[in-house]
A and B are shown apart, each in its own frame.
Chain A
């Protein structure tokens, strides 16, 4: 079972990973975006870590709802509402249970990913965060390590794709050959699950 501490560890592990990788995320965002993905997410997840410590929500659902709210408020770019919606819908689907099974979590995360697809209008293959999140959710039945590998593979596989959503889509064919920053940060988020589980 996954308890509130697991979800706190997930958020702090993601915040640390985003902090560590912020420069790389921004570098990936330079040729095909507006070079702010790393700094935006760094600001957002730092705020998440601070707020979780201050408000100390007690259930998995409440932790993710609060984290998502914080991302919507503080990121300042499109990744804010997208990651915010992902965490809030996932949290909402978990309800107010004190702990949840891995299977319940996998289902909830799928609900969250579906909500992101509706919000952003992106489908798999559009060179977005969805290209890491969908394979991760599909692999989650085999555990967090499998999900992490699937997300990383999905992020790497965005390189030859042509962007069809967001600012990168304005570049048309010139977006080909660059790994998508959103898919890359999504892989960090999924890697945070494995880390939180001590894997």
Chain B
């Protein structure tokens, strides 16, 4: 991966990182794959799943979340999207700690799948964290019926 050097001619541009937290490792990894796939081949957005417990079971791992956030931090902020329950609470608790997640990490209030796609697509344009957050949150407004 060379996120800082590839993509649309803006060499060295720092992309917002995206972390996807789900109770299930498969869900987190699949949504990451889906969002990156829909963002287009060769997208320079760093995306990391943090799914399930460290033992591979269903649940939430603070360690996996912290590691994922560190791995996607390029200095432009990190947007964290979660599914529900302990995933939300664990991210909030880590943010309250102050030093567990990279500077500029935000929990984004968005639907998990749609929000992830919006966030990755937006981040791929080189948008800042506020724009990525707004795009992900806006996914709530898209009605299907």
A interface residues (Cβ-Cβ under 8 A, vs B):
34, 36, 40, 69, 72-73, 76-82, 84-85, 88, 119-120, 166-167
Contact = CB atoms under 8 A, between A and B. Distances in A.
B60 interface: yes
* Chain A interface SS verdict (over half): helix
Interface stretch (B91-99, B112-120, B129-137): B91-99
Contacts of B89: 78, 80-82, 119-120
Given A85-B93, A119-B89, A80 B63 contact: no
B92 A72 contact: no
Interface of B: 53, 57-63, 85-86, 89-90, 92-94, 96-97
A12 B22 CA distance: 32
Contacts of B93: 72, 80-81, 84-85, 119
B52 to A, nearest CB: 9
Contact of A81 (B57, B58, B90): B90
B85 A76 contact: no
A73 B63 contact: yes
Which of A79, A81, A85, A88 is packed against the most chain B CB atoms within 10 Å?
Answer: A81
Contact of A73 (B57, B58, B62, B92): B62
A76 to B, nearest CB: 4
Given A85-B96, A166-B85, A76 B57 contact: yes
A76 B63 CA distance: 10
B53 A78 contact: no
19 contacts: A34-B58, A40-B59, A72-B90, A76-B57, A76-B86, A77-B85, A77-B86, A78-B89, A80-B60, A80-B86, A81-B90, A82-B89, A85-B93, A85-B96, A119-B92, A119-B93, A119-B96, A166-B85, A167-B85
Nearest to B89: A81
